[in-house]
Structures are given as C-alpha cells and as structure tokens.
Structure 1
Amino acid sequence: MKEINDKARELMKGYCRVCKVCDGKACVGEVPGMGGLGTGASFKSNYEALAEIRLNMRLLHDVTEPDITTSVLGYDLSLPVMAAPIGGVSFNMGGGISEDAYAEAVVSGSKKAGVVGCTGDGVPPYVHEAGFAAIVKNGGYGIPFIKPWEGDELDEKLELARTTGCTTFGMDVDAAGLITLRQMGRPVSPKPASELKKIIDKVHSWGAKFILKGVMTPGEAELAAEVGADGIVVSNHGGRVLDHAPGTAEVIHEVSEPVKGKLAVIVDGGIRTGIDVLKMIALGADAVMVGRPVAVAAMGGLEEGVEKYFDTLKAQLSGAMILTGCKDIKSIDINVLF
C-alpha cells in the first residue's frame, strides 16, 4: 500500500497530497479537488467523529476466525463495504490516469475483492460513460449513481444506466449544490418525496433496487422508506456540499433506528480502516461506503491497488472483531463501543 500511495501522490500532485492521515486538514476548501467545502469542517467532522469513538476490548471468548461476510441489497459481500461513487479524474484528481481506467479499476478491483463498486456521474459525459462501461465489462456487477438532475436528463441517464445490466440504481441527492456542477452551468437540485417515489417506482418496475444517498436525519430516513427506497446512504457527500454539517458517525445511530429492517442502511464519511468499519456497524449501519481511500488506491495501483486496499480492510476488520469478541457481522452491536 505504501508503493500504491506513493504513486498516487505523484499522479495527484496539486489535487490530493495523499496524507498519512486523511483528515481533511491539508485540503481545506479545495473543491474541485479532494478537499472539503469552505472551512472543511464537515470533512473534518467525519474523520474526527469516528476517531473519537473507543472500543471495548474483550478477550475471554472463543472467537478466533470471525465471519466478516454479509449480504446487503442482494449482494453477497466478503466484508460489509462498498466503493463509494466518485468520478471526475481530470478535475478532482489531476488527470494522471483516464476516467475509463479509473472507473474500471474501482469496479473490477471491488469485484475481485468480493465487494461492489459504485460509479459516479457528472457534467462531462465521459464521467458516467466510463462508469457504465466498467459495469458492463463486469457483467452488470456495480451500482451506477445518477445525480438529481432536472428535467429529461435524469430519465435519460437512468435509461442508459439500465443498459448496463445492473440490479441496483443509486441517486446521490447530497450532490445538490455541488460547486463543480454549478461552475459547469449544470446545477442539480433536491428532490421532493413525490418525485422520488415516481423515480423509485420506475426502477422497481425494471425489477431493480434503488439507493438514496445523502440522508442525514431520522425524518428523511423514514421518508425514504415511505417512498420505497431499498437502501439509504447516510452521507454529507464527503463534506463537499454543506459546511459545518455533523460527521456521519455522529448521526448514524439516530438515523438508522426508525428504519432498521425496512431498508438497508449504509454510511460513508471518514472511513479509513477496518476498525472504522467495525465502529459504523456497531452504530447501526448494515454496510459502509469508502470514498477517498479507494480513489487513491485506484489512482496509485489501478485494479490491483483497489483489491489490495480492500484486502487490508479485511485483515483489520477481522483482527478488530477478534479483539472485541464478535463472531460475525450480526453480533456487532452498540455494546462493542466504550
């Protein structure tokens, strides 16, 4: 991983420093880029909220080989992790590799590691085109995320995503207000429940599932369940859209409580290690999404880099579960936390 990170640092110069600790402090306000919006408070809150959580160490048990596998939204995962939807290599990551190579690295590397990769969307057509092509190459194994566009563009992109053969579609409503989209003259907007229901009903008519990314309150989690979403992602878009939002680890327990069993609860934000995965599962998530570290791994090592990063998470999660007495993912609960 050191070699992969070193290569990524070289390729992403001026866009991401690939810091030893990815906490948002060195890249404050660097949007476009890999930083957090404004003061960077939301990005930093994601990292700090997780870092402040402590674990109860328990060793008087017989757990020696924990089962870290799980099933979420019909995907059998080698660990409760997905690659978050990130795109825009040229304007966010320095353009050291092509968008096609990046998307393929994320989707193919994720599949080889036994997890699922999500793809991003943006103004330049090549962003979603690269993501869709990567999913097609992997036999439909991947989740395309579409921005909350206005008018016909949303329907057109959903129809294009359908041709990939994917079984799940995502919408990152937390992209509303992204500076990069405004700068390109293509702003996106929030979606009322009535409109979301029509979108979800359409996806369901195709026999597919729908994930809504950008839920940060219990009320909106319940609303997502009411309109038929199959899953939500508790996310503040990596701290890139609203300054001074709370860290996702601060809200995940409260957000997940009213919808447990009704839909899949996924969370992203500041997750760097297998221990972070354990913490988020203990707080109420069914799975997590990892963003920046996967992007760095893809830039620095392509498909192999992504696979190696997930292998690192597997070893870390397994070790943490042994040291907290968790035999499988279902046994991870709030009692793991100090």
Structure 2
Amino acid sequence: MKETRDKARELMKGYCRVCRVCDGKACAGEVPGMGGLGTAASFKNNVTALARVRLNMRLLHGVTAPDTAVSLLGFDLSMPVLAAPIGGVSFNMGGGVSEEDYIEAVVAGCRNAGVVGCTGDGVPPVIHESGFAAIAGSEGHGIPFIKPWEGAELDEKLDKARATGCTLFGMDVDAAGLITLRQMGRPVSPKTPEELEAIIARVHGWGGKFILKGVMTPDEALLAARVGADAIVVSNHGGRVLDHTPGTAEVLAGVAAAVRGRLTVLVDGGVRDGADVLKMVALGADAVMIGRPISVAAVGGLQEGVEQYLAAVRAQLVQAMILTGSPDMASVSSCILFQD
C-alpha cells in the first residue's frame, strides 16, 4: 500500500496529509477537508475509544482458517465490512481524481473484494449523480445514502436511487448539522419519527430495505426499530458535524444491546484495520463501515488501491481471529475482549 498512500499524499496535499496514523490530530478543524469539526474531539474520540478496546490472546485451540464471511441485509459478504458513504472529491480530497473515477473505484473495488460500497450525497450534484451511476454500473451492488433534505429534493433523490437497481437505501441523518447546506439554499434537517416512518414505508413498498445512519444512543436505536428501519449505523459522522461527542466504540455495546435481534447494527468511526473490525463485532456490531482509509486508497490507487486495502484488512482480520480463537464471525463476542 505504500505506493498508493504516497500517491494519495501527493494528490490530496492541503486536504489530507495521509498520516501514518489517521487519528484526527494533524487535520483538526479542517472541514471541508478530511478533518474533524472544531477541536476534532469527536474524530479523535473515535480513534482513542477503539484503541482502548483490547483483545484477549488465546492460542490453545484448533482455529487455523477462520471464516470471515457474513450475510446481512440481503448481501453475502466476504467479511463484515462496507465502505462508508464519502463524497466531495473537489472540496474534501483535493480534486486529484474526478468524482466519477473516485466513486466508481470505491463501488467496483468493494464488489470485487466481496463487500459493499456506499455512495454519498451533497452539493454539487455530481456527488450523488456519480454515486448513482457507479451503483447502476455495478448492477445495483451498492448502497446510496441520501442526506435528510427538506422538501421535494429527498423524494426526488429516493426515486433516482431506486432507478440504480439497488436494494438498500440509506439516510445519513447525522448530516443534519451541516449548516453550510442551508446557507447554500439546500437545507437538511433532523427527521421526526413520523417523517421517518413515511420514508421507510415508501422504501419497503418498493421491496427495499432502509438504513438509518447517525444513531448514538439506545433510545434512538429503539426509536429506529419502532419506525421500521432495517438497520442503523452507530456514527457521529466521522466527527465532522458535532464536536465533543463520545467515540462510537464507547456507545456501541449499549446501543447494540438495546436492539439486538430487532435490526442490523452497523458502526463506523476510527476503524483502520482488521483487528479494529474484530473489536467492533465483539462490541456488538454486525458489520463495520470504513471511511477515510478507503477514500485514501481510492484517490491514491483507484480500484486497485481499494482492492489492495480491503485485502489487507481481511488478512489482518484472519490473523486476529486466529490469535483470539475465533473460528467464524458468528462466534465473536465480548468474551474475546480484555476486561479490566
């Protein structure tokens, strides 16, 4: 990955330093860009919270070839990983590659690696248009995330997303704090339970499933289940919308316990390698979303870069499963975590 990371560092200069450890320190306050909002406390908390989770090493067992595969939300995945919805190459990543080439690399690279890529939304229109085109070009193998727009824009984009052939639809309600969009005359806002219920009923009427991203508390997880969501993403939007939130690894176990068996629980925030994936699953997630590292891989190496990165994550996951005595993902529980 060194060549890919070096190329990304060159192309993303001024927007992302492609640090050896992506922890939010060097890019604090750089939004737009790849940093965290304000002090970047939320971004940093994602990384430090996950780093505090420790694994029990166990080697008196017969696990030599663990099975990393999972099935969820209609997809058979080679490992419990999805690419988080990130767009805006020109103002977040330096514009070294086009929006179209970037998101096609993410979606196609994920598909070839046996996982799923999610696409983003925003302003300018090329963000969602490129994402929808990439999913359509991948025969519906992708998840479009649509921001919580006010007015007709939300309905129009849901219709466009449906035309891609996708079976899963996402809303990153955690984007509701992006006041810049309101200043541009394109407001986003929180959604009431009644509004969400109507949106989800519409998607279910198409035979699709709905993911609600941006749930950080058990009560809102329960609310998501009550209005019919099929999955939630425990997420603070990568620390880019509200400063001083806890890291997702701090709240995941409580959120997952509240809705266990009622919906699929995904999580993002600070996931960098296969051991991090295993930790999040042990804390209660069914799968994880990886954001910034996949963006760096896509900018630096396009589809090949994404595939290389995901191959490395899977190899690290296999190693961590062997060293914790985990034969498959279904067997992973909090028992593999060290408790003080």
TM norm. shorter chain > 0.5 = yes
**C-alpha distance in 1 between matches for 2:22 and 2:129:** 29
- Three-state SS of the structure 2 residue aligned to 1:171 is strand
> 5 Å matches for 1:31-70?
31-70=31-70
Match of residue 271 from structure 2: 271
Determine if the alignment matches structure 1 residue 213 to structure 2 residue 213.
yes
- Three-state SS of the structure 2 residue aligned to 1:42 is helix
Match of residue 233 from structure 2: 233
**C-alpha distance in 1 between matches for 2:181 and 2:287:** 28
Determine if the alignment matches structure 1 residue 172 to structure 2 residue 172.
yes
Query: Could you tell me which amino acid in structure 1 is paired with residue 246 of structure 2?
Result: P
- Tell me the CA shift for residue 231 of structure 1: 0.3
Match of residue 253 from structure 2: 253
- Three-state SS of the structure 1 residue aligned to 2:128 is helix
- Tell me the CA shift for residue 186 of structure 1: 2.1
- Tell me the CA shift for residue 182 of structure 1: 4.1
Query: Could you tell me which amino acid in structure 2 is paired with residue 285 of structure 1?
Result: A
Determine if the alignment matches structure 1 residue 317 to structure 2 residue 304.
no
Determine if the alignment matches structure 1 residue 120 to structure 2 residue 120.
yes
Deviations 1:158-202 (A, max 9, x none): 000000000000000000112542453423100010000000000
**C-alpha distance in 1 between matches for 2:123 and 2:187:** 9
**C-alpha distance in 1 between matches for 2:247 and 2:187:** 25
Deviations 1:259-304 (A, max 9, x none): 1111100000000000000000000000000000000000000001
Match of residue 189 from structure 2: 189
Determine if the alignment matches structure 1 residue 145 to structure 2 residue 145.
yes
Match of residue 72 from structure 2: 72
- Three-state SS of the structure 2 residue aligned to 1:313 is helix
Match of residue 82 from structure 1: 82
Give unpaired runs (5+ residues) of structure 1: none
Check whether the contact 1:36–1:240 (CA below 8 A) recurs between aligned residues.
yes
**C-alpha distance in 1 between matches for 2:87 and 2:146:** 11
Deviations 1:103-160 (A, max 9, x none): 1000000000000000000021100000000001000100000000001000000000
Deviations 1:195-226 (A, max 9, x none): 00000000000000000000000000000000
- Once the two structures are overlaid, the 10-residue window that deviates more, 254-263 or 166-175, is 254-263
**C-alpha distance in 2 between matches for 1:183 and 1:127:** 18
**C-alpha distance in 2 between matches for 1:187 and 1:296:** 29
Query: Could you tell me which amino acid in structure 1 is paired with residue 327 of structure 2?
Result: K
**C-alpha distance in 1 between matches for 2:89 and 2:180:** 13
**C-alpha distance in 2 between matches for 1:224 and 1:182:** 25
**C-alpha distance in 2 between matches for 1:323 and 1:43:** 29
Match of residue 111 from structure 1: 111
Match of residue 330 from structure 1: 330
**C-alpha distance in 2 between matches for 1:92 and 1:156:** 25
Match of residue 204 from structure 2: 204
Query: Could you tell me which amino acid in structure 1 is paired with residue 209 of structure 2?
Result: K
Match of residue 30 from structure 1: 30
Q: In structure 2, do the counterparts of structure 1 residues 159 and 178 end up closer, same or farther at CA, with 3 Å as the change threshold?
A: same
**C-alpha distance in 1 between matches for 2:175 and 2:88:** 13
TM-score by length of structure 1 reads 0.99
**C-alpha distance in 1 between matches for 2:75 and 2:47:** 27
Q: In structure 2, do the counterparts of structure 1 residues 179 and 11 end up closer, same or farther at CA, with 3 Å as the change threshold?
A: farther
Check whether the contact 1:56–1:337 (CA below 8 A) recurs between aligned residues.
yes
Query: Could you tell me which amino acid in structure 2 is paired with residue 78 of structure 1?
Result: S
Query: Could you tell me which amino acid in structure 2 is paired with residue 122 of structure 1?
Result: G
**C-alpha distance in 2 between matches for 1:181 and 1:27:** 22
Give unpaired runs (5+ residues) of structure 2: none
Percent identity for Structure 1 against Structure 2: 73
- Tell me the CA shift for residue 331 of structure 1: 0.7
**C-alpha distance in 2 between matches for 1:82 and 1:117:** 6
Deviations 1:32-52 (A, max 9, x none): 000000000000000000011
TM-score by length of structure 2 reads 0.98
Check whether the contact 1:176–1:188 (CA below 8 A) recurs between aligned residues.
yes
Check whether the contact 1:31–1:179 (CA below 8 A) recurs between aligned residues.
no
Match of residue 136 from structure 1: 136
- Three-state SS of the structure 2 residue aligned to 1:67 is coil
Determine if the alignment matches structure 1 residue 305 to structure 2 residue 305.
yes
Query: Could you tell me which amino acid in structure 2 is paired with residue 332 of structure 1?
Result: V
Query: Could you tell me which amino acid in structure 2 is paired with residue 50 of structure 1?
Result: L
